[in-house]
Structure 1
Amino acid sequence: MTRPRAASDRFVAQLPDHIRSQVAVIHSPLLKIEPLTVAVESDESAGLIFSSANGVNAAALLNVDRCLPAYCVGPATTQAAQDAGWDAQMRGATAQELVANLLKLRPRSPLLHLRGEHSRGNVAERLTESGLTTREQPIYRQQLLPLSDEASQAAEDNQPIIAPLFSPRTARHFADVWAGSAPLWLAAISEAAAEPLKTLRFERLKIADEPTPDKMQKAVKKLLNHVMRVESAPGAD
């Protein structure tokens, strides 16, 4: 698992029991989330935008105003914001959907997008260009990490490895640090995340039908089914 540990644990916990019983989970987070020590000026904002649970957690540590409504990407981010005390609404499964839905909703503005230092989607820019004034502020850092010792050792083994990649940035980083010879089965959350993985030698690359945890779980299940068929085929080692 390549996400930060808490997010990886949630992803694995939601897989069916029969799937978890057939795999050994190796944790190798490729990102470390570090909240920034910044002052968030939200007094003039009419609402917040969260595009990740990491943004929610960092905002909670910074004591950002809980009285503001929060417009969120995805169910996990929405639930995190609700649990942290915000009146949070899911307004799309992706940043693109959130932008489209907010432009239809036209909530009071200006809005404030609290995000990481590295962010895709240009949410604030696209909303502002379409007449819904939105500011943005990075409130956490995503530090790239090497493969864990356990992952590096497994990479040199002959057992199949299923690696889910949840963002283009972590996919690029994985492609840079992977130097193993183990059979590699890849799940990418989007076409953009899949692109840098195409430089690797792999058995199969599955792209999620939609960039959501549910679709990524389905992609992982399909890969596991393929792996099991290959491993049980006549003549397989």
Structure 2
Amino acid sequence: MSTQKTLVLTRPDPSNTEVLAQIKARFGETVPVIVSPALKIVPGQNWPDVSPYDVVIATSSHAIQGPLHGKPVYCVGVRTADAASRAGGDVRHCALDAARLIEWMRTQPDPGAIIYLRGSHVATDIPAALDGLAIQGDAARTYRQEEQALSQAACEAIEGDAPVILPLYSPRSARLVGQAVKRIGQQLHVIAISDAAAQAWRDQTGGTCEVTDDPTGEAMLDRIVAALNV
């Protein structure tokens, strides 16, 4: 690995701390890093009553801000499933992304009334996507994703000439980071978690990026470590 490589992390805290710990465990040494969250997670003040619903859907661990009282839960991502279990939910299915969750639900019997726990911004409107199946669905905003200004250090690293690795974990964060920089450095290595995140980056900057095979934190970790080892 070139000792000049710097990792720029823009995830909401505490996700950055978790990623750094995973990288250190896999890579075996400390990596130069700039932490500058593009988003801040703000819990909602009113947790919904889930008792009238037959199924809870959550596509982010941030959405789990209260008790689930044993309700069946359909999740996106292992971290979301873990959060749902800790909140007392009965995780029945865990998909890699929202598109695959919807595809799976189309093959299942009518689940009854669902409630989708979501943030202020979502890439996929789950109840709307399921509308054609005549499934009764409501949504509750249990957290907000507030925009945060990218730090000067992060901007200078992304725009500079030194080797930088920039993982992008969502289309919105990719768009915000792209909007914050004036140019992209020649040795910037961007890794996107999905085609949607990659497209958001391209739309904002015209830059290229690598896309993981699966939209998971583990796949992102694999690509980050591989980039550090080059």
Query: Residue 142 of structure 1 aligns to which amino acid in structure 2?
Result: Q
Q: Map Cα deviations across residues 9-41 of structure 1 (whole Å, 9 max, x no partner).
A: 222322364625262122111100111223524
Shift of 1:161: 1.4
Counterparts of 1:159 and 1:23 in 2: how far apart (Å)? 15
* Aligned counterpart, 2:150: 147
Q: Any idea what the Cα deviations from partners look like across 1:56-92, whole Å, max 9, x if unmatched? A: 1x2x1xxx44232211111111011112222223331
Aligned equivalent of 2:223: 219
Q: Deviations for 1:137-169, whole angstroms, at most 9, x for unmatched residues? A: 212111111113442454465431111111111
AA partner of residue 89 (structure 1): R
Amino acid at match of 1:87: D
Change in Cα spacing, 1:43 to 1:84, as seen in structure 2 (3 Å) is closer
Residue aligning to 2:53:
45
Alignment of structure 1 residues 193-212 onto 2, 5 Å: 193-198=197-202, 199-200=204-205, 205-212=209-216
Distance change in 2, residues 1:177/1:201 (3 Å) = same
Structure 1 Cα separation of the partners of residues 37 and 69 of structure 2:
30
Which of 79, 87, 91 aligns to 1:88? It is 91
Greater shift, 99-108 or 118-127, is seen at 99-108
Question: Once the two structures are aligned, what percentage of the paired residues are identical?
Answer: 29
Find the aligned partners of 1:22 and 1:201 in 2 and give their Cα distance.
31
Residue 24 of structure 2 is aligned to residue 19 of structure 1: no
* 1:201–1:43 CA distance, 2 compared to 1 (3 A): closer
Instruction: Quote the RMSD (CA, aligned, Å).
Output: 2.3
Distance of 1:113 and 1:85 partners within structure 2: 16
Task: Point out the more displaced range, 40-49 or 165-174.
Answer: 40-49
CA distance in 1, matches of 2:26, 2:38: 27
Matches within 5 A, 1:106-185: 106=109, 108-155=111-158, 158-179=161-182, 182=185, 183-185=187-189
Give the structure-1-normalised TM-score.
0.82
Alpha carbons 2:116, 2:138 under 8 Å: kept: yes
Segments of 5+ residues of structure 2 without an aligned counterpart are 1-8
Figure out how many residues of one structure are paired with residues of the other and give that number. 220
The answer to whether the 8 A contact 2:41-2:143 is kept is yes
Structure with higher strand content: 2
Is the contact made by 2:61 and 2:80 (CA closer than 8 Å) also made in structure 1? yes
Cα offset, 1:112, TM superposition:
0.3
1:6 and 2:14 matched: yes
Matched, 1:78 2:81: yes
Supply the AA of the counterpart residue of 1:200: T
Counterpart CA distance in 1 for 2:18 and 2:26 is 16
Listed as ranges, the gaps of 5+ residues in structure 1 are 229-237
Per the normalisation by structure 2, the TM-score is 0.84
> Helix, strand or coil: the match of 1:146?
coil
C-alpha distance in structure 1 between counterparts of 2:97 and 2:80, whole Å: 11
- CA pair 158-15 structure 1, distance change in 2 beyond 3 A: same
User: 3-state DSSP class of the match of 1:113?
Assistant: strand
Query: Matched residues in 2 for 1:30 and 1:127: separation?
Result: 30
**Shift of the alpha carbon at 1:106?**
2.5
